A and B are shown apart, each in its own frame.
Chain A
Amino acid sequence: MANVGIKFTQSGIAVPSATPQQLLFTSGNNNLKIVQSGIATYTFSSNPSAGQITLATIAHGLGYVPAHDVFYKFYDPATPYTEYSHMPYVNIAGGLATSTYIFNSYCDSTNLVIRFSRVDTGGGAPLNYNGTQWSFKYRIFADEGA
């Protein structure tokens, strides 16, 4: 198709001669489109043993595997502080030969799933997540993730 559509440039820059970098928006390029976002929360009611826990399952209803992005905040009542960051979250307790705690997320064709895993590889002192509160801000895009 010919050069048709909508273009926006920075103020003062002529659209016909604008470089791609000077275009703020052009309908000639696809865009990541957020179609669903929200917050999921989870509080550990006991210290998790080795294995996996599904912390949240969010149905997206798209019928295909979409792109997604998740950020998290962690709150520990015993040591009050907040951290807010970009998933995944990995915490290795007691060095490489003890326990690895993983928070990650994935999308399949039905759901966005946020998971916790604890993998034990040694006999050191594990962390205690009992009572910790986790919030997850998720974005599901209309665009493909697979």
Chain B
Amino acid sequence: MANFGTKFVQSGYDARGAADKEMLLHSAFYNVGIAAQGAFSSVANGGVIATHGLGYYPMHAVFMVTSSRSYLLPTALENATFPRACRVSTTQLINNSGQTLSGYYYIFKERLDEDRAAINVQTVATTRGSENADIGMVIAKDGYDVRTATLKDLVMLSGRANAGKVAQLHLMHLKKTGALSGVFGTPNTVTHNLGYRPQVWWFVKLTSENWKMVNNADDSFIDITTTDTKLYLPYAGDWCCVIFKDPTELT
């Protein structure tokens, strides 16, 4: 189909030729919308953090709060304790951290058990020009006034406002699922071919368990290159890999 749709770029880029990773919003890309979010307090291990009722396994993220500090789970604390990831069923988000937990959760619309093919429109990076003044489109959450809403109460913000901050959305490049190799040292690999190292979230569903996020806090290890990402985890089950457009270019 022809080149049509809506684009918003980061301030200073030309929307007509900007690369995918320079977009704030693009109507050709999946955006990771939030289905539910909220704070929770003192949920015992095994207890229900939230009931989502989506009827499928959704992508999710849980932050643990302790001593006014917020950690993305799973994590490793300074005292060498390792709170585990929370897990999600088709109806509930459940504390699986191994301890009583307070924090904040996000349940996204995205299913963890289906693929989304990569969409590439423009992969060649462009040069950022001078940044513009406060222009663009602002959408606030239902019930909020866009003129006064704080950043967290905006659905999106294409221009510069609120002390010069830009609210870049979490645009998805692809989502892929598969069966874990279950073999020590044999990675589960997803090719992205972006030419740069993107932000990646991995989730797993071990045999007879629910879905949970994994990083390097437990028995898993994640490797990200300019062409692919690998998850090392020597257990049987399923995986879901979410690759975002946003680059993680490190020198």
Residues of chain A having any CB pair with chain B under 8 Å: 1, 5-6, 8, 11-12, 20-21, 23-37, 39, 41, 52, 61-62, 64-69, 71, 73, 83-90, 100, 102, 104-109, 113, 115, 117, 119, 121, 135, 137, 139, 142-146
Contact with A along B26-70 (1 / 0, CB 8 A): 011111111101010000000000000000000001010100111
Nearest neighbor of B63 in chain A, beta-carbon distance: A145
A39 neighbours in B (Cβ, 8 Å): 250-251
Interface check B191, CB cutoff 8 A: no
A21 touches B109 (CB 8 A): yes
Contact with A along B168-210 (1 / 0, CB 8 A): 1110000000000000000000000000010111100000000
Distance between Cα atoms of A13 and B183 in the complex (Å): 41
The distance from the CB of A20 to the nearest CB of chain B, in whole angstroms, is 6
The distance from the CB of A97 to the nearest CB of chain B, in whole angstroms, is 12
A119 touches B80 (CB 8 A): yes
Chain B contributes a number of interface residues (CB within 8 A of A) equal to 72
A109 neighbours in B (Cβ, 8 Å): 68
A29 touches B246 (CB 8 A): no
Interface check B76, CB cutoff 8 A: yes
B32 neighbours in A (Cβ, 8 Å): 31-32
Residues of chain B having any CB pair with chain A under 8 Å: 1, 5-6, 25, 27-35, 37, 39, 61, 63, 65, 68-72, 75-80, 82, 103-104, 106, 109, 111, 114, 139, 141-143, 150-152, 154-157, 163, 165-170, 197, 199-202, 215-217, 221-225, 246, 248-251
Nearest neighbor of A6 in chain B, beta-carbon distance: B139
Q: A32-B169, A33-B168 are in contact. Are A24 and B217 (CB under 8 A)?
A: no
Nearest neighbor of A51 in chain B, beta-carbon distance: B78
B29 touches A24 (CB 8 A): yes
A62 neighbours in B (Cβ, 8 Å): 151-152
A31 neighbours in B (Cβ, 8 Å): 31-34, 155-156, 169-170
Distance between Cα atoms of A12 and B70 in the complex (Å): 42
Q: A8-B27, A21-B109, A39-B250 are in contact. Are A104 and B75 (CB under 8 A)?
A: yes
Distance between Cα atoms of A107 and B31 in the complex (Å): 24
8 Å CB contact of B165 from A6, A8, A117, A142: A142
The distance from the CB of B34 to the nearest CB of chain A, in whole angstroms, is 4
Distance between Cα atoms of A119 and B225 in the complex (Å): 30
B224 touches A107 (CB 8 A): no
Count of inter-chain pairs, beta carbons less than 8 A: 201
Distance between Cα atoms of A113 and B6 in the complex (Å): 36
- Contacts A/B (CB < 8 Å), 7 sampled: A32-B106, A65-B65, A67-B70, A84-B250, A85-B215, A104-B75, A115-B78
A86 touches B215 (CB 8 A): yes
A35 touches B151 (CB 8 A): yes
Beyond the given A33-B156, A146-B65, please list 18 additional residue pairs across the A-B interface where CB-CB is below 8 A.
A8-B5, A11-B1, A20-B109, A29-B35, A32-B106, A33-B167, A35-B165, A35-B168, A61-B163, A84-B224, A86-B202, A88-B215, A89-B216, A108-B70, A117-B79, A135-B251, A144-B104, A146-B68
A104 touches B251 (CB 8 A): no
Q: A6-B139, A32-B169 are in contact. Are A142 and B75 (CB under 8 A)?
A: no
B106 neighbours in A (Cβ, 8 Å): 32, 67, 143
Nearest neighbor of A140 in chain B, beta-carbon distance: B165
Q: A35-B165, A146-B103 are in contact. Are A84 and B80 (CB under 8 A)?
A: no
